Structure formats: structure tokens, C-alpha cells
Structure 1
Amino acid sequence: MNQRVDAVGETIVIDETKNGPFQLKVRTGSATFIADEPIGIGGLGSGPNPYDLLSAALGTCSVMTMRLYASRKKWPLERIRVKVTHLRNGLDAADTFSREIQLQGSLSDEQQQKLLEIVSNCPVYKTIERGSEVLTTLVFSGSLVDEAVSLCEHMRGMEQACDQAEAQDATSESG
């Protein structure tokens, strides 16, 4: 439980604002926003809660990955909307995320099906699906590096998912 993480990775920094018991300032490499809990449970309702952020990560990655693939293919995809519903199944059971996807534009049935395949390869979906290791370290006062770092890992993951899909397309077309 007290392991040091020395690897360079994307880093966000979270600080209490001291405005209410749960309000937090979240800094990424390129943005700052507030996270909080709803008023009904003691928060100020000033931002998304952690599960909202997790659902948002899945939904936004889904849209971005489909958009990247459709743009590469120059498909007539006008708009993508995704609704993510998160069902908690208890503290120790696997949770369920339900994605509803709406694609607008003059897409063929084949193009729509391909986008549904691609969305199952978006980086955040893959992270949730395979699980992750969480390393925790207790850091003493003054030794926490206060720098948020963005390495564009998400974009690289989306590009890799699209590259793999295009390679599969080429293989199935030639075979």
C-alpha cells in the first residue's frame, strides 16, 4: 500500500478548496475544474462527483474515438451523442456501464456497425474492461510534486485503435 511510483505518466493534481467538505480543484495538463458531491449528501453541488467523471471519461473517449475513425474515413457523420449509465453493484462487485449511442448523418448500416466495433476499442473502455493496478504512496509534507502533466496518451490510444481497425479492414478486403 505504500509503493512509490517513479514512472513518468500523465498526472493530475487534486487539492481541497476548503469550500464545503468535498469540493476539490482538479488540475490536468491543460485544464482546471471543480469536482464535488451533490447538495443532498453534504456537498455544494458545484461539480461532477468521481463516478460522474468516470462515466464522462468513458462517454467522451467513445465519442472521440468514433469521430477520429469517421474523419479518417471521410464518412458523413454529422453528430455523435452518447449517454452513459453507471450501475453500482456494491463496493466489491463489478459495476456495469451502459452506453447508448446515437449517430447522426447519412451513414450506411456497414459504417454504423464499424463505428460500434471501434467504440469497443476506445482507450478508456479498454482500461475499464481489463482493470488496472493502483499503486498508493504516502508522501510527506513538501515532497509532492505539484505539476500536472499531459502526455497525449489518450490520443495515441485512439489512433492505435483506429490503426488496428483499418488494418483489419485491409486484411478482410484482401482475404
Structure 2
Amino acid sequence: MKSQKAESVRKRQQPLQNHYKEKPGDAKITDRAITTGGELGDPWHGGIKPGSVDHGVEWKFGVHHAVGGYHDAPNPGDILCAALATCLESTIRLIADRRGIILEKLEVEATGNVDVRGTLVVDRDVPVGFQNMQCKVDIQASDETDKKELQKLLAYAEYSCVNLQTLTKGVDIETTINL
């Protein structure tokens, strides 16, 4: 990734906020990822290109050992947890910068728990999907930062984190098939 000097969040976001107040339709964006097929004879592995812009990045993925895979690469559940963790961390960083909070340490761990009997159709009463998820935030700010200010920071970040809010509230998904 190209290294860039970090500009203040306020300097980069304020013009966008002003623009979106004038033209709300411009605030609607689309993110995407597309699988690359990989070796179709291997049901245990594949590839995915993340992003609505081709960054020249392809991630390899595998299937969890709990459903028969080798778990020798990140699986879709790992990638979902990674999306949640990266979204929450970046949101915390952005809000901390806007509020003038100097972070000395930040680590976000996202975990998800699933009973695979549902997906393997072992027990139809077990739902398919994560039954619950957790985020653990390990944060440390400069000594002069009030603990109440850190609590506000985390509350604002939870409110503003797109992936956290999407998972918490759910989202309609439409699947189309090209035959």
C-alpha cells in the first residue's frame, strides 16, 4: 500500500459533510467484493478480490475444518470477523482524531460463534449463521485523556461503525443468479 502522510480527519471529512448536506444523493456509495473462481475442482479453496476499485489485491480463502475444510486459509467467518474488527478500529481512529484524542494502543478483536450443525443439516432446529458475535476493544490513550472521554469515543464509534450497525440490525439481501 502506498504510504501517505496522514491528514487530519476533520480536514478531509468536513468538505464531504458540507457537500452531502447540499447533495445527499452523493453520499450513497457501493462497496463490493467478487470471487475469482480459483480452481473449481477444489471446493475447499478460492479467491476473492475486495473493493469497488481494483487494488490489485486478491485474498485466498479456505473452508473451516468444522465443515470438512482444511482451514489452511482465512475462512468466510474469519473474513466477516475481520470486516467487523477493521471497521470498528478505523471508526475509533477517525473519531479519536476528530476529538483530539491521542491513541497509544488500539486493538479490536471480533469473534463469532456458530453451531455448524445448522449448515451441515444435522439438526434443522439449529439456525444457520452466527448465533452471536463479540468485539473486544483494547484501547489506551495518552495519560491526560479522561476515561469518560474514552467511553464517549467508544459509544460514538459503535454508533458510527457501518459493519457493526449492519450486523446488529440486519440487512435485506437479494440474490440473483445468471444461468
The TM-score range, normalised by the shorter chain, is: 0.5 to 0.7
Distance in 2 (alpha carbons) for counterparts of 1:92 and 1:17? 25
Give the corresponding residue for 1:109: 147
**1:119 aligned to 130, 151, 157, which one?**
157
1:88 aligned onto 2:114:
yes
Give the corresponding residue for 1:27: 49
Map 1:8-157 onto structure 2 (within 5 A): 9-18=30-39, 20-29=42-51, 30=55, 31-38=57-64, 41-88=67-114, 90-91=126-127, 95-106=131-142, 107-121=145-159, 122-140=161-179
Q: Deviation digits for residues 148-174 of structure 1, max 9, x if unmatched?
A: xxxxxxxxxxxxxxxxxxxxxxxxxxx
Deviation at 1:117, TM superposition (A): 0.2
Letter in 2 for 1:103: I
Letter in 1 for 2:91: T
Deviation at 1:94, TM superposition (A): 6.6
Distance in 2 (alpha carbons) for counterparts of 1:80 and 1:68? 12
Q: Deviation digits for residues 31-74 of structure 1, max 9, x if unmatched?
A: 31111124575434342111111111111111000000111122
Segments of structure 2 that go 5 or more residues without pairing to the other structure are: 1-28, 116-125
Distance in 1 (alpha carbons) for counterparts of 2:137 and 2:59? 26
50-59 or 35-44, larger mean C-alpha shift: 35-44
Distance in 1 (alpha carbons) for counterparts of 2:44 and 2:112? 21
Alpha carbon RMSD of aligned pairs, Å?
A: 2.3
Contact 2:81 2:110 in 1 (8 A): yes
Deviation at 1:133, TM superposition (A): 0.9
Structure number with the bigger relative contact order (C-alpha 8 A, sep ≥ 6) is: 1
4+ residue runs over 6 A deviation: none
Letter in 2 for 1:12: A
Contact 2:113 2:130 in 1 (8 A): no
**% identity of equivalent residues:** 26
Letter in 1 for 2:176: T
SS at match of 2:44: coil
SS at match of 2:36: strand
SS at match of 2:172: coil
Contact 1:88 1:95 in 2 (8 A): yes
